[in-house]
Amino acid sequence: MSHQRRKARRLTVQALYQWQIAGHTTTEIITQFAEHASRKVDFAYFRELTEGVISQHSQLDDQLQPQLNRALSGVDPVERAILRLATYELSQRLEIPYRVIINEAVELAKRYGAEQGHRFVNGVLDKTAKVLRPQEHVVRNRA
**Does the structure show a pLDDT above 60 at 104?**
yes
pLDDT at position 1 is 53
What pTM, to 2 d.p., does this model score?
0.92
Does a structural domain hold residue 129? yes
Does a structural domain hold residue 65? yes
Domain range enclosing 31? 2-133
Does a structural domain hold residue 109? yes
Rounded Cα distance, 1 and 6, in Å: 9
Domain count, the chain: 1
Does a structural domain hold residue 143? no
Give the pLDDT band of residue 26 (cuts 50, 70, 90).
very high
> By the 8 A CB rule, do 38 and 98 touch?
no
pLDDT at position 139 is 52
**Does the structure show a pLDDT above 50 at 88?**
yes
**Residue 108: Cβ within 10 Å count:** 24
Calculate mean pLDDT across residues 130-143: 71
Q: What is the CATH number of the domain that holds 76?
A: 1.10.940.10
pLDDT at position 143 is 47
Does a structural domain hold residue 58? yes
Does a structural domain hold residue 114? yes
Rounded Cα distance, 47 and 31, in Å: 10
Calculate mean pLDDT across residues 109-118: 92
Does a structural domain hold residue 29? yes
